Amino acid sequence: YSYTVKAIDAAGNVSKESTALTVKTTVETPDTEAPTQPKGLHSMGTTASSVDLMWSPSEDNIGVDHYDIYRETEGSMKKIATSNTTSYMDK
């Protein structure tokens, strides 16, 4: 890609364009590896109506985007939330 920039003042006068910048984008490496298993899931505290969950971060060659949290409901695990951090409060 090539880019240039022009400045425009309040009266609409336009500057000469900047020197062009040519940039070559990199080829994105496909993410084909799954993150490591989250470990150390534990409760940081409970009340009558909430459970505060925390776990150790997973590792990934590209990066972990988010975590899906599941709770057993009626005998099967159902997704209840998504978290961008290594903690979640189930209320």
* pLDDT tens by residue, 29-84: 888 999 999 999 999 999 999 999 999 999 999 899 999 999 998 899 999 999 99
The dihedral over CA atoms of 37, 39, 45, 50, expressed in degrees to the nearest 10, equals: 10
Q: Return all residues near 47 (Cβ < 8 A) that are at least 6 apart.
A: none
Report the Cα 46 to chain-centroid distance in Å: 27
Report the Cα 84 to chain-centroid distance in Å: 6
Count: domains in the chain = 1
Range of the domain at 71: 2-28+37-90
- Residue 15 binned pLDDT confidence (cut-offs 50, 70, 90): very high
DSSP string, the chain: -EE----B-TT--BPPPPPPEE--PPPPPP--SPPPPPEEEEEEEE-SS-EEEEEEPP--SS----EEEEEEETTEEEEEEEESSSEEEE-
The enclosing domain of 19 has a CATH number of 2.60.40
Position 17 scores a pLDDT of: 92
